[in-house]
Homo-oligomer: A and B are copies of this chain.
């Protein structure tokens, strides 16, 4: 999950995400109506809890990719808005279950649903939204799309279990970390873009490109997210940092720092990550270790490479405002960190 999902960003000017949103605005409006219709239920707790998360200022980045891919492929039907709503529901369901798993207290700057309504409600409402997602996809009448999204959902769950199994362990490798990122974050970005492309029926090259764009963008986003969680500059700006640290998550900045650690630093990482014995002062020391070892820069360098791969994947598309906005989103994803 992206911590980016936890708070709407306060960028000045128009970001490329907003530009893309404007390009698919009528479709997004319909998708949004389907989202609100789909979370309705005669059991009040369901819309109450779902609305808490869905109306909390998330950027709808994943459904945006679905709508953009469908539109870039010249799609004329009404399946893409249903698929976009389904993608947002799958994302919301994973956020709800993720917060239970992480025992999170905050999500998108608000008290997380599990703390307001309890873990049980979060689990069950997540299940409800997940089911609703599949009902919406059935309405598209497209089995390929159902296959892509059900496959992605299985991969996301696998990624979350992998991450769970490797928490609090300094033995986690870069390779393992990248597998987790590909599964828990990039799989849904990839499926969201691929699904929209499949609906447009523009052939295998177009589908492969949109999928590659989504996948690489998803990885870049997660790497930047993980870097920002140890950003001293971010801390100075009053933004939340240290969530991963407090949860002892083995993200790339720590993996790189621990690999470059001397004896004293290694003992520090063992204490704060493996034993989980840590204070707020330890976060400041962790940030300084991560910065001293150049681990933030290295994480960002890799994020840049994935963002470039996302942009390159767009090469098969004819020039268009959508292509340009998608390309700029890849840059924006990395640049938002500076």
Interfacial residues, chain A to chain B (CB-CB below 8 A): 41-43, 45-46, 93-94, 97, 100-101, 119-121, 123-125, 127-128, 130-132, 134-135, 138, 141, 143, 146-147, 150-151, 153-154, 156-158, 160-162, 164-165
- Of B101, B124, B153, B164, which is within 8 A of A161 by CB? B124
- 8 A-B pairs with C-beta separation under 8 A: A97-B127, A100-B120, A100-B123, A123-B123, A127-B160, A130-B130, A131-B153, A141-B143
Closest beta carbon of chain B to A7's beta carbon, Å: 24
State the CA gap A161–B49 with chains docked (Å): 11
Is there an interface contact between B131 and A138, defined as CB atoms closer than 8 Å?
no
Is there an interface contact between A161 and B130, defined as CB atoms closer than 8 Å?
no
- Of B120, B134, B143, B154, which is within 8 A of A150 by CB? B134
Is there an interface contact between A125 and B43, defined as CB atoms closer than 8 Å?
no
Counting chain B CB atoms within 10 Å of each CB, the highest count among A45, A93, A100, A130 belongs to A130
Is there an interface contact between A161 and B121, defined as CB atoms closer than 8 Å?
yes
Is there an interface contact between B160 and A124, defined as CB atoms closer than 8 Å?
yes
Is there an interface contact between A147 and B119, defined as CB atoms closer than 8 Å?
no
State the CA gap A41–B159 with chains docked (Å): 11
Q: Which B residues lie within 8 Å of A134 (CB)? A: 134, 146, 150, 153
Is there an interface contact between A128 and B157, defined as CB atoms closer than 8 Å?
yes
Closest beta carbon of chain B to A218's beta carbon, Å: 18
Q: Which B residues lie within 8 Å of A119 (CB)? A: 100, 119
State the CA gap A157–B50 with chains docked (Å): 13
Is there an interface contact between A157 and B143, defined as CB atoms closer than 8 Å?
no
Closest beta carbon of chain B to A211's beta carbon, Å: 17
State the CA gap A90–B57 with chains docked (Å): 32
Can you name the residue of chain B whose Cβ is closest to the Cβ of A118?
A: B164
Closest beta carbon of chain B to A285's beta carbon, Å: 28
Closest beta carbon of chain B to A11's beta carbon, Å: 33
Given contacts A45-B161, A97-B123, A161-B45, contact A154 B138 (CB under 8 A): no
Can you name the residue of chain B whose Cβ is closest to the Cβ of A150?
A: B134
Closest beta carbon of chain B to A331's beta carbon, Å: 33
Can you name the residue of chain B whose Cβ is closest to the Cβ of A128?
A: B157
